Amino acid sequence: MSVSLRIATVSALLIAYVTANCDPGWRYLPTTQACYKLIDDQLPWSVAEIRCLYQGGHHVSIASHEENRFVRETARHQEVWHGAAFFGSDYNYVHSDRTPFGYYEAWENGTGRPSMNRARRCIKINSNGDWFQSCCKKIAAAVCKKAAAPAWGNDSN
């Protein structure tokens, strides 16, 4: 067996092993080492966040083009909540999982971050994967995100 074939086999086994550490119904993305799940119910942002919290996660926070594409696929190309919003009089977006906002952004029409709108404090992701501001009381599906359980952390033997 060639070295590259061995490396590919070991990599596939490791990915499969870590994938098994996502709860049933969750999808694994190796580059983020996180699990993702679609909440298909149409909910306001805050209720969707509570549903994610109940399952051990948060609304999705997105840090790369690859992750944005994966979330879009997980959402089955429907409109979903993004994990960022701004609260109070502070006009800075904050992710519900407390990860920094702004490493990657994918706003509609490629125009960059829009001006803050007090009536539209939350972000949604449309069916194309583009982000737009929305009133947090509107409804949408959600994608939850949580860290995958490390493969070495399972001591069930």
Residue 136 contacts residue 44 (beta carbons within 8 Å): yes
The single-letter code of the amino acid at 64 is S
pLDDT in tens, the chain (157 residues): 676 666 665 555 555 554 458 999 999 999 999 999 999 999 999 999 999 999 999 999 999 999 999 999 999 989 999 999 988 777 789 999 998 898 899 999 887 888 777 778 899 999 999 999 999 999 999 999 999 987 655 444 4
Give the integer Cα–Cα distance in Å for 72 and 84. 16
What pTM, to 2 d.p., does this model score? 0.81
